[in-house]
Amino acid sequence: MSKTTINPPPNRGPLVSVKITDVAALAGVAPMTVSRVLNTPDRVSELTAARVRAAIDQLGYVPNLIAGGLSSRRSRMIAAIVPTIASPMFNEPVQTFTALMGEAGYHVMLALSGYTPGGEDRLVRAILARRPDGLLLTGAHHSAAIRALLADARVPVVEIWDTAEHPTDVLVGFDHAELGAAVAEFFIAGGHTHFAVLSARDPRAAARGTGFVARIRQHGLTVVAERVLNAPSSIEDGRQGLRDIVASLAPRTALFGSSDMVAFGALIEARKLGISSPGQLAVCGFGDFEISRSTEPPFTTVRVDGAAIGRIAAEQLLARINGAATPGRVLLPFEIIPRSST
């Protein structure tokens, strides 16, 4: 459909590397003064600062943060670990967090842990080798090895998107089991008596599913099907999931999907199979992804304020970095958004 082309590489000019002493020499000041112009401009007279800035521009000086970091023992870098960016789930918190930390002078290094257990261990070691000034972790349940590493490293840590009795440091999340239970109550209030759940193979999705099922059983009602899907789960996983459980469905069943992708897949497959929604199959997703809102008809989901999580995480982490005592745990609310699928 199109060609593959290969051209030769261009040549490059001579190697140059401007350092702080070069700038200092040109501006006729000590290197320390250049450093002050860049880091604590208030402590330099406006006159010299101008001379130094001129020299910086003239030479195209770009400070070396590696050297600066070694000397000051501050990397001005934050590492953020999320399971994946292939799902819209973590976009909001990560983007907000990154933007706010950026304003505060920190770069955020994003790392993907995947959903394979143990993938996190190597990653955390590798990341700590860069001496981040802070850490953002997705999830609050980590291996003993990681806990030990983090404790030794003395790095401020904020855990998001989860809850735990004793967070490593600061936690900003919500209670997944309670959320599942709330979805159960929502369905029950709608008169449902038969339920199903499709959950990704991921600890937090599992917690939502467990909370859902537990509450239903508390009410003495029936869970007709429960199925575990890939993580992160795709639309196709949701479709396949529905095909797998279709034989078990009651004439009127309420389905909880662990993400909006799953719920959307289930809805598509139901429509294809001639199962009406919400009549025969009520569906609730999770995440309030755009697809839940903008598809036709839009479907019911649970919204968590991802931007708020990112913002509070940034605030808490900055407070922690600056040595302030901060609350150990911030649990945020969630909200069921009823739409046409229930």
> Which tokens go with 273?
């199979």
The footprint of a second copy on residues 107-166 (CB under 8 A) is 107, 109-112, 125-131, 148-149, 151-154, 166
Residue 5 engages a second copy in binding (rule: CB under 8 A): yes
| Residue whose structure tokens are 């967090």 | 97
Distance, CA of 171 to CA of 158 (rounded, Å): 5
Contact 241, 255 (CB under 8 A): no
Choose the contact partner of 227 out of a second copy, DNA, none; CB within 5 to 8 A by kind.
Answer: none
CA dihedral 301, 196, 186, 184 (to 10 degrees): -110
- One symbol per residue from 16 to 45: x for binding a second copy (CB under 8 A), - otherwise; what is it? xxx---------------------------
Residue 290 engages a second copy in binding (rule: CB under 8 A): yes
| Single-letter amino acid, residue 214 | A
Residue 4 engages a second copy in binding (rule: CB under 8 A): yes
Residue 28 engages DNA in binding (rule: CB under 7 A): yes
Contact residue for DNA among 50, 54, 58, 70 (CB under 7 A): 70
Q: Which H or E element spans position 316?
A: helix 306-321
Q: Which H or E element spans position 45?
A: none
Contact residue for DNA among 50, 54, 58, 64 (CB under 7 A): 64
Smallest separation, CB 79 to DNA (Å):
18
Contact residue for a second copy among 97, 174, 286, 299 (CB under 8 A): 174
> Which tokens go with 87?
């799902």
Residue 323 engages a second copy in binding (rule: CB under 8 A): no
Residue 126 engages DNA in binding (rule: CB under 7 A): no
Q: How far is CA 151 from CA 14, 120, 127, 169, in A?
A: 46, 16, 14, 9
Smallest separation, CB 73 to DNA (Å):
6
**Phi, then psi, of 329 in degrees rounded to 5:** -150, 125
Residue 301 engages DNA in binding (rule: CB under 7 A): no
Q: Which stretch binds a second copy (CB under 8 A): 59-67, 134-142, 189-197, 278-286?
A: 59-67
Contact residue for DNA among 20, 261, 283, 291 (CB under 7 A): 20
Long-range contacts of 7-10 (CB under 8 A, 24+ apart): none
Q: Which stretch binds DNA (CB under 7 A): 25-33, 159-167, 250-258, 288-296?
A: 25-33
- Return the sign of the alpha-carbon dihedral for residues 142, 66, 58, 23: positive
Q: Which stretch binds a second copy (CB under 8 A): 202-210, 216-224, 279-287, 320-328?
A: 320-328
Residue 63 engages DNA in binding (rule: CB under 7 A): yes
Residue 36 engages DNA in binding (rule: CB under 7 A): yes
CA within 13 Å, CB half, 157: 25
Contact residue for a second copy among 10, 220, 274, 279 (CB under 8 A): 10
Nearest Cα residue to 225 out of 263, 200, 254: 254
**Phi, then psi, of 113 in degrees rounded to 5:** -95, -15
Q: How many residues does the chain have?
A: 342
**CA triplet 36, 40, 41: central angle to 5 degrees?**
85
Output 20 or 94, the one with its CB closest to DNA: 20
Output 28 or 39, the one with its CB closest to a second copy: 39
Interface positions with DNA (CB under 7 A): 17, 19-21, 28-36, 38-39, 42-45, 47-49, 63-64, 67-68, 70-74
